[in-house]
């Protein structure tokens, strides 16, 4: 049985700059657009978070880095100069928050959807205001002197960034430029998944589908 | 033996024969590259970086396994410094990450080895404690001592307080575990 079209989250593959593709085979980015913004989570989504809290315990958090997908992100963090014990991988950050808060706390539709998709799939997700993007999303190195909207100083040359076809949008696994984040006025959200070697394509699709379906619920 | 030279006949220092200067014919030209069976390659930094990344991935996996097996032991340092990013690291930087990971792995393995030895001693002592409480008076062993999670402990105590102390009636009292987070009510 085919699902209604609005329930299909067809992932759109993005581009990767050749220098990055050569250095990191398997690095990729995929996105899907959901026709809603953020806001307070409905009761059904909050209930889903509560159920997820009951299924995710300390033992899961401890063994997380031995699971293949979270391990792949830890390894990639090491490869790009980040310490995954300081700058946590997305799934480890969500797990740590779960342990700290005693449960997955509801923080809004988008944040809750990303939490559910991240914990269920292990894939790193982020989101942008889809109406602020121009063209397809991709990964590239920042040019010398390139600046982010909302930042006074230039970013270090060679920083890996998420970009669209006109400008850089965010540091990979880091801060976003001003004006592209999902806010109250956002009407369409672009959910973005970062793929790596060791993270199968189907996991990216699953993560995007989980996130999109949670946002639409 | 007449064929053998005696010691005093051998020269004390080996004399290097004088080499005649190399004389090349005036029409000599170095051979062209095409005729040499030599492959000229550029400095293969990309290959080196890939090799280092594979090593880092393997070590990160080993560190993750140790992290899992170390639980619930506290106070073991698993951190490995990073050069900062996100960016494409050079060979030198990747080597430093690899070396730091290798050093950390060695430290963690050593620490775990030491701790498991101590825990093994505690386990043996616990067996003796349970078998003969009277021979291990007032000894208290906790889950933490034997490397297990939880707050349970075994305590060798006299039965019926002072009476057991006088009559030498000893028993092992096992605690009921961690206190309730919210209290009894």
Contact (Cβ atoms closer than 8 angstroms) between residue A174 and residue B86: yes
Task: Write out chain A residues lying below 8 Å of B82, CB-based.
Answer: 77-78, 81-83, 86
Task: Write out chain A residues lying below 8 Å of B51, CB-based.
Answer: none
- Predicted confidence (pLDDT) per residue in A135-171, tens digit: 999 999 999 888 887 777 878 889 999 999 999 999 9
Q: Do B64 and A74 make contact, defined as CB atoms within 8 angstroms?
A: yes
List CB contacts of B103: < 8 A, sequence separation 6 or more.
none
**What fold, for A12-215?**
Phenylalanyl-tRNA Synthetase; Chain B, domain 3 (3.50.40)
- Predicted confidence (pLDDT) per residue in B94-118, tens digit: 999 999 999 999 999 999 999 999 9
What sections of A13-89 are H helices per DSSP?
Answer: 18-23, 43-55, 58-63, 68-79
ipTM of this predicted complex?
0.91
Cis omega before residue B72 (within 30°)? yes
Q: Do B83 and A79 make contact, defined as CB atoms within 8 angstroms?
A: no
Please name the member of A62, A65, A81 whose beta carbon is closest to the beta carbon of B86.
A81
B interface test, pick of A21, A60, A79, A144 with most B CB neighbours within 10 Å = A79
**Can you give the pTM of this predicted structure?**
0.81
Task: Write out chain A residues lying below 8 Å of B100, CB-based.
Answer: none
Domain map (residue ranges) of chain A: 12-215
Please name the member of A65, A81, A172 whose beta carbon is closest to the beta carbon of B67.
A65
Please name the member of B81, B86, B89 whose beta carbon is closest to the beta carbon of A174.
B86
């Amino acid at each position: 049985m085919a699902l209604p079209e609005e329930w299909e989250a067809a992932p759109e593959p993005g581009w990767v700059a050749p220098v990055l593709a050569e250095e990191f085979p398997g690095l990729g980015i995929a996105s899907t657009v959901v026709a809603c913004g953020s806001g307070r989570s409905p009761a059904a989504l909050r209930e889903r978070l509560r159920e997820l809290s009951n299924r995710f315990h300390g033992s899961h958090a401890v063994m997380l880095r031995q699971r293949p997908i979270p391990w792949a992100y830890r390894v990639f963090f090491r490869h790009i100069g980040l310490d995954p014990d300081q700058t946590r991988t997305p799934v480890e950050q969500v797990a740590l928050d779960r342990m700290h808060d005693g449960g997955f706390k509801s923080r809004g539709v988008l944040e809750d959807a990303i939490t559910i998709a991240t914990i269920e799939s292990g894939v790193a997700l982020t989101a942008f205001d889809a109406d602020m993007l121009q063209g397809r999303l991709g990964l590239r190195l920042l040019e010398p002197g390139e600046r982010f909207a909302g930042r006074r100083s230039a970013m270090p040359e060679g920083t890996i960034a998420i970009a669209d076809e006109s400008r850089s949008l965010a540091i990979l696994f880091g801060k976003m430029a001003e004006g592209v984040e999902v806010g109250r006025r956002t009407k369409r959200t672009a959910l973005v998944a970062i793929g790596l070697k060791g993270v199968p394509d189907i996991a990216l699709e699953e993560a995007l589908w989980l996130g999109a379906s949670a946002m639409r619920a | 033996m007449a064929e053998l030279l005696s010691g005093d006949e051998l020269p004390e220092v080996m004399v290097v024969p004088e080499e005649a200067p190399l004389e090349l014919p005036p029409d000599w030209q170095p051979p062209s590259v095409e005729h040499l069976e030599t492959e000229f390659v550029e400095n293969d930094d990309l290959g080196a970086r890939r090799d280092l990344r594979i090593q880092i991935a393997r070590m990160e996996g080993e560190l993750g396994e140790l992290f899992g097996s170390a639980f619930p032991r506290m106070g073991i340092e698993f951190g490995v410094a990073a050069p900062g990013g996100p960016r494409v690291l050079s060979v030198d930087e990747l080597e430093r990450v690899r070396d730091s990971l290798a050093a950390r792995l060695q430290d963690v393995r050593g620490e775990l080895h030491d701790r498991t030895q101590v825990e093994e001693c505690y386990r043996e002592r616990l067996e003796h404690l349970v078998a003969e409480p009277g021979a291990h008076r007032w000894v208290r062993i906790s889950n933490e001592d034997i490397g297990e999670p939880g707050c349970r402990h075994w305590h060798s105590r006299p039965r019926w307080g002072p009476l057991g102390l006088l009559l030498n009636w000893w028993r092992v009292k096992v605690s009921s575990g961690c206190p309730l987070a919210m209290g009894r009510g």
